[in-house]
Chain A
């Protein structure tokens, strides 16, 4: 038993060396290195490097309601074509009930409607047609809304100049954003908080009674002014042209109007815009952003060039941000921020420094304690403990895991728990030394007997860590990763490295008896 197998020594030494070598990139930590080796460093979580985590929820209810409104408009048009009078329309939560004056043509109406909206549930009972938003139809709306929203959010974030953003779908109707290094999260939130639906409508200044009674006739809508809630406009419901026809927008400065946003339409938009302005000279054209009027200038001449400016009481930043929003396009539905965690770079740096100090002091305390209790064997266990730390760091670096503040706590905790396997082994050796005198037999038995206990004990900790990973979010997952890696690494260092060190020590010191 005195000759330690060469393959085993080789394995142990090479694993230890690998652990040390691959922890170098994380220890040097050259942030911008492109070197293939130095790139294998630990990623710092947002709570350590500073940045914003945002969870956005797509307000699907708004879309469902919009779709119901579309149903109503369409059914009105169809029945007008068929010359059937509608007695009453009842809009419920996810259903529209249309009552017709007679039921002769109701089947035709249903069929024409179905041509327009395939997939909705249509039901006729007597003179009533029920149009229902069923689950499949909602799912179609939902999926396309999320997809579109993701795209628009990505464009807006890119435009805002954020580096390396992570943007992904989370669950059914949420979008998760991780924005490292963002200094002004409020501006980002402002950018995301707007739907930015831009539309142009002709203003009806003739029908003054509609505004007084606050009752819009069919095909018209009443809209508020963005700056003064007392100002109302009566507009054509149909927009002349919308933001989807924009090809460019940028902040500009106008001598008379101040900061403004200049824009350019694509060919289709320019044609529509030119036609409408030609036909409506003398009338006003309202510019609507998210359902309120920003400005409503009079059309003095036909605008056929396809470009124009939007004025309002903007400052430079507001004009620039509006331009960003218009370039990126409108969100299909409003986004609501349901969770935000932003950390400044200062706190992140403080956390790293504090974590390092805690880890070093914890390490020193544990090492001193082990030497006090187990003497030379304690020192051997300490070598394992230090190697253990290197291995954790190198694993975190090579698998590209993200280190968070709870993750650092996990490492410090691991320092305390990692010696457990060594303790179990040493205690067994102590017991064995009472039974016999052959040094190497004692050590062999000690390691063998401790093995199953070490496995059992560590697997239970791993179970808890895996569940934490499954149910935890961001930073907590960081904790479960370092804890799991720490537990696995500690099993290796105790069962292989400490084992190797103890044999080497006993061989070289040529011990004839063992008293632990």
Chain B
């Protein structure tokens, strides 16, 4: 029965809201930098959204340099990359039309046939599909934000919904900015990761908001800032615990889950950290904009 949970006191009393200005400035800066990065450097779009051909091969008795030499004589825009270990190589090509797909893969295969043990995978995404996928991804993220807003609005007051969406927008922008800096490949799986982050972050936010709502009823006289502080403190150990177990699972996925899933795991790790941060330091302080009292009387 004696667990380490006593590290975090049952009733911690940390003045989170007192630091809100510093964190607000930090987050606004982070978002601005993200926007600048996204518009200047952009994301490292994978073939899902850029179109093109990708071939993964496992090789023998050769080097990435040798393969590059063989292929670059035939293709001007070929790029090669070691994938996990030096025997596994990813070859990327930019196709201009759908028609080239069959010929490209065939001729690449013929060129390097004798150096290859196994063609592990080949993917081709045509230009019409890649723009459709990008559009649908964008649509999914926007709809998710709106649906979550509506849900929070129904379950809480609209001010909470506003706070949640501010935090979510922050999470998505901040995560995208970091993906841009780290040059992580942006694929369909990344969209899935971002939507899951949205779900996770909102989950975190809802737990704290739930407590805010409960405390608003319980402590009618308490100053709003103190009440928010109390709510964050009440839920602090849960916030930390859940983030840690989720991160443990994700780190395991990142390290052992294989090369293909790694960008997804990394995006999720970044997002969980940002999502946890934003629930405490963005979502809750945003509620201060609104005067819940004295009009607030629902019980």
Q: How far is the CA of A416 from the CA of B235 in the complex (A)?
A: 18
Residue pair B3, A354 in contact (C-beta under 8 Å): no
* A420 interface residue (CB < 8 Å to B): yes
Q: Kindly supply a per-residue 1/0 record for chain B positions 207-219, scoring 1 wherever the CB is within 8 Å of any chain A CB and 0 otherwise.
A: 1001100000000
Q: A468 contacts B248, CB within 8 Å?
A: no
Taking the closest CB of chain B, its distance from the CB of A432, in whole angstroms, is: 10
User: Which residues on the B side are within 8 Å of A479 (C-beta)?
Assistant: 189, 192, 196
The listed residue (A343, A357, A358, A476) touching B188 by CB distance below 8 A is A476
When chains A and B are docked, how far (Å) is the Cα of A362 from the Cα of B143?
31
- The CA-CA distance from A26 to B229 in the complex, in Å, is 48
Q: A339-B124, A347-B56, A424-B207 are in contact. Are A430 and B253 (CB under 8 A)?
A: no
Tell me which residues from 107 to 147 in chain A have a Cβ below 8 Å from any Cβ of chain B: none
Q: Given the complex of chains A and B, what is the CA–CA distance between A88 and B223 in angstroms? A: 87
Which residue in chain B gives the minimum CB-CB distance to A514? B1
Task: Tell me if B36 is interfacial: C-beta within 8 Å of chain A.
Answer: no
In the bound complex, residues from chain B placing their C-beta under 8 Å from that of A430 are 5, 10, 237
Contact indicator A55/B129 (Cβ below 8 Å): yes
CB neighbours of B96 from chain A (8 A): none
A110 to chain B, nearest CB (A): 38
CB pair A337–B192 under 8 Å, yes or no, is: no
* B252 partner residues in chain A, CB cutoff 8 A: 358-359, 361-362, 365, 412
CA distance A423 to B119 in the complex (A): 46
Interface-facing stretch out of A29-37, A310-318, A453-461: A453-461
- B4 smallest CB distance to A (angstroms): 5
Interface: A374 (CB within 8 A): yes
Complex contact B120–A459 (CB within 8 A):
no
| Nearest B residue to A351, CB-CB | B258
Chain B residues with CB under 8 Å of A57's CB are 98, 128
Q: Give the residues in chain A near B5, CB-CB below 8 Å.
A: 373-374, 426, 430, 516
Q: Are A459 and B125 in contact (CB under 8 A)?
A: no
A67 to B257 Cα, complex, angstroms: 53
| Min CB–CB distance A211 → chain B (angstroms) | 29
- Contact between B261 and A342 (Cβ–Cβ < 8 Å)? no
Complexed CA–CA distance, A134 and B143 (Å): 35
Residue of A nearest to B55 (CB): A342
CB–CB A373/B121 < 8 A: no
> CA–CA, A417 to B276, complex, Å?
13
The A3-24 residues at the B interface (CB cut-off 8 A) are none
Question: C-beta contact mask, A187-224 vs B, less than 8 Å → 1, else 0?
Answer: 00110010000000000000000000000000000000
The 0/1 profile, CB within 8 Å of A marked 1, for residues 252-278 of chain B is 110111101100110010000000000
Inter-subunit contact A358/B257 (CB<8 Å): yes
Tell me if B203 counts as interface (CB < 8 A to partner A). yes
Q: Which of A451-475 contact B (CB under 8 A)?
A: 452-453, 456-465, 467-468, 470-473, 475
Closest to B164 in A: A460
> Across the interface, do A406 and B261 meet the contact criterion of CB distance under 8 Å?
yes
Assembled-state Cα–Cα distance A332/B42 (Å):
43
Chain A CB within 8 A of B200 CB: yes
Contact B125 A464 (CB under 8 A): no
Tell me if A185 is interfacial: C-beta within 8 Å of chain B.
yes
Chain B residue with minimal CB distance to A425? Answer: B238
Measured between beta carbons, the chain A residues less than 8 angstroms from B249 are 362-363, 365-366, 412-413, 415-417
Q: B210 near A461 (CB under 8 angstroms)?
A: no
CA of A444 to CA of B25 in the docked complex: distance in angstroms? 43
Expressed in whole angstroms, the Cα–Cα distance for A279 and B98 within the complex equals 45
A315 to chain B, nearest CB (A): 15
- Chain A residues with CB under 8 Å of B61's CB are none
Stretch at the interface among B16-24, B131-139, B289-297: B131-139
- Asked if B241 is an interface residue, CB under 8 A from chain A, the answer is yes
Query: Closest CB-CB distance, A420 to chain B, in whole Å?
Result: 4
Q: Which residues of B contact A351 (CB under 8 A)?
A: 258, 260-261
A399 at the interface (CB under 8 A from B): no
Known contacts A344-B121, A357-B256, A420-B242; decide if A337 and B207 are in contact (CB<8 Å): no
A340 proximal to B (CB < 8 A): yes
Q: Which residue of B lies closest to A361 (CB)?
A: B252
- Is B264 within 8 A of A471, CB to CB? no
Does A336 reach chain B (CB closer than 8 Å)? Answer: yes
* B-contacting residues, A325-369, CB 8 Å: 336-344, 346-347, 350-351, 354-355, 357-359, 361-363, 365-366, 369
A399-433, CB under 8 A of B: which get 1 and which 0?
Answer: 00000011011001101110110011011001100
Question: Cβ of A463 and Cβ of B147 under 8 Å apart?
Answer: yes
Q: Are B106 and A186 in contact (CB under 8 A)?
A: yes
Q: Majority SS of interface residues in chain B?
A: helix
Contact of B256 among A358, A417, A453, A480 (CB under 8 A): A358
Contact with A464, one of B2, B128, B144 (Cβ below 8 angstroms) = B144
Find chain B residues with CB under 8 A from A409 CB: 189, 253, 257, 261, 264-265
Q: Which residues of A contact B102 (CB under 8 A)?
A: 186, 189-190, 193, 337
Whether B207 and A457, one on each chain, are in contact in the complex, defined by CB atoms closer than 8 angstroms, is yes
Q: CB of B46 within 8 A of chain A?
A: no
Decide: A419 near B245, CB < 8 A? Known: A362-B252, A467-B143. yes
Nearest Cβ distance between residue A325 and chain B, in whole angstroms? 15
Chain B binder among A96-104, A150-158, A258-266, A375-383: A375-383
* Residues of chain B in range 30-85 having any CB-CB distance to chain A below 8 Å: 56, 58
Q: Does B148 contact A (CB under 8 A)?
A: yes
Chain B residue numbers with a CB within 8 Å of A465 are: 195-196, 199
Q: Does B247 contact A (CB under 8 A)?
A: yes
| B155 at the A interface (CB under 8 A) | yes
A309 interface residue, CB < 8 Å from B? no
Q: How far is the CA of A340 from the CA of B192 in the complex (A)?
A: 20
In the complex, which residues of chain A have a beta carbon less than 8 angstroms from the beta carbon of B133? Answer: 473
- Report the minimal beta-carbon distance from B131 to chain A, rounded to whole angstroms: 11
A304 to B56, CA, bound (A): 54
A393 at interface by CB-CB < 8 Å: no
* Given A338-B128, A346-B118, A516-B3, A463-B144 contact (CB < 8 Å): yes
B225 in the interface (beta carbon within 8 A): no
Q: Is B105 part of the binding interface, using a Cβ–Cβ cutoff of 8 Å?
A: yes
A408 to chain B, nearest CB (A): 8
- CA distance in complex: A471, B194 (Å): 14
A378-B3, A409-B257 given. 7 additional CB < 8 A pairs?
A376-B1, A406-B261, A413-B249, A423-B242, A456-B210, A465-B199, A467-B147
**Chain B residues within CB distance 8 Å of chain A:** 1-5, 10-11, 56, 58, 98-99, 101-102, 105-106, 109, 118-126, 128-129, 133, 136-137, 139-140, 143-144, 147-148, 151-152, 155, 188-189, 191-192, 195-196, 198-200, 202-204, 206-207, 210-211, 234-235, 237-238, 241-242, 244-253, 255-258, 260-261, 264-265, 268
Residue pairs across A and B with Cβ atoms less than 8 A apart, 28 shown, are: A57-B128, A185-B122, A190-B102, A193-B102, A336-B98, A336-B99, A342-B123, A346-B120, A358-B253, A370-B245, A374-B3, A377-B1, A409-B265, A412-B252, A416-B248, A417-B246, A420-B203, A420-B238, A420-B242, A430-B10, A456-B207, A457-B206, A460-B206, A461-B196, A468-B195, A471-B137, A476-B188, A476-B191
